[in-house]
Chains A and B, each alone.
Chain A
């Protein structure tokens, strides 16, 4: 009975490790971040390009929704790719951490220790991949947007400026996140 439970637990851990699905907490974190990062440049467009909300309402809503969606996907893609790389790198360190904890506890067996190491490694890799993915994608998106809007498309009309800079920077972030190995 306990064997079956522990095998299914192993399977669950493996599935979690290799699946692309994110937990609800992760999903909320990614969506929230994507929405905030998509909304912040609107303030810049309002103040500097003098695009008032009443006349550009539709453009802003559309642009924000599109960029939120693709940023979200970019976060998930990058996290999935990074998680495995980080997990491999952190294996030794996590081993040492768990050994320290288990050194005082003599009753624990090797199986429990291995389970614990695997879970902890998963957690650490998940956390680091999530935070790095959010940081990197946010920075890349904002830099692209600023360069496109204030240097490349500087002399175009505000509508063209907004739509193209949001579309191109979203596309670049998304394609970059899918392209890495």
Chain B
């Protein structure tokens, strides 16, 4: 009887200990762009969101996205592509923003960012996770962006100024002549009526 109870107790304890994985935290990382359009030579904003799901703190969080945006094709304006945080508390949200400037146009693919962290301060074992990816994006040239979106008000005003003499001047000449002769004809009719 005593042996049965001990064995059952031992079984319970081992089950509890083997379930420690559920109590560990897991980091969710999202990566997205805030821009509606990506244009060559204009700013591109990338936002990384890190969320610590689970009950424990994670330590030595390190995000590495240098491979997605090589300096040959992208100029880094604000922020770093390799940030580090000492800890992220349980249930905490963290965002990190990077501003880049694409140097070339065309289709570009940026892959996942790699995030490494430690689940406990004492245990140096590093957990690796990947962010979501943006996928293939089309970087349009500055010229195409201007063509589609800038307002061109001044261009239209100047065009109207250039084109109006071609229309207004002949109209004016014709109208003057027409009015002169119609007046003459109507005066003629008026005097005939009076007679």
A118 interface residue per 8 A CB criterion: no
Could you tell me the distance in whole angstroms from the C-beta of B100 to the nearest C-beta in chain A? 25
Q: Give the docked Cα–Cα distance between A33 and B170 (Å).
A: 10
A-B contact count (CB 8 A): 67
**How many residues belonging to A are interface residues under a CB distance threshold of 8 Å?**
27
Determine whether B185 belongs to the interface, using a CB cutoff of 8 Å to chain A. Answer: yes
Q: Could you tell me the distance between the alpha carbons of A20 and B122 in the complex, rounded to whole angstroms?
A: 102
- Contact across chains for B163 and A142 when beta carbons are under 8 A apart: yes
Query: Smallest distance from the beta carbon of A35 to chain B beta carbons, Å?
Result: 11
Q: Are B155 and A131 in contact (CB under 8 A)?
A: no
**Contact of A138 with B167 at beta-carbon distance under 8 Å, contacts A93-B185, A96-B184 already known:** yes
Known contacts A92-B188, A128-B174, A142-B167: does B159 contact A43 (CB below 8 Å)?
yes
Shortest CB–CB separation between residue A84 and chain B, in angstroms?
16
A134 and B170 form a contact (CB under 8 A):
yes
| A contact patch SS | helix
With A47-B155, A50-B146, A142-B163 as known contacts, state yes or no: A132 contacts B181, CB within 8 Å: no
B residues less than 8 Å from A44 (CB atoms): 155, 159
A164 within 8 A of B: no
Contact B147 A124 (CB under 8 A): no
Q: Does A139 interact with chain B (Cβ within 8 Å)? A: yes
Q: Check A93/B159 contact, CB under 8 A, given A48-B152, A135-B167, A135-B174.
A: no
B86 within 8 A of A: no
* Chain A residues whose C-beta falls within 8 Å of the C-beta of B181 in the assembled complex: 90, 93-94, 97, 124
Nearest A residue (CB) for B142 = A50
A128–B174 alpha-carbon span in the complex (Å) = 5
Q: How far is the CA of A131 from the CA of B179 in the complex (A)?
A: 14
In the complex, whether A127 has a CB less than 8 A from a CB of chain B is: yes
The answer to whether A43 touches B174, judged by C-beta atoms less than 8 angstroms apart, is: no
Of all chain B residues, the one with the shortest Cβ separation from A140 is B167
Determine if A40 is an interface residue (Cβ-Cβ < 8 Å): yes
The reply to whether the CB of A14 lies closer than 8 angstroms to some CB of chain B is no
Given known contacts A124-B177, A142-B163, A142-B166, what 11 new A-B pairs fall within 8 Å (CB)? Answer: A43-B158, A47-B152, A47-B155, A49-B147, A96-B188, A124-B181, A131-B173, A131-B177, A132-B170, A138-B167, A142-B167
Interface residues of B (CB under 8 A from A): 143-144, 146-147, 152, 155, 158-159, 162-163, 166-167, 170-171, 173-174, 177-178, 181-182, 184-185, 187-188
Q: Which residues of A contact B (CB under 8 A)?
A: 33, 36-37, 40, 43-44, 47-50, 90, 92-94, 96-97, 124, 127-128, 131-132, 134-135, 138-139, 142, 158
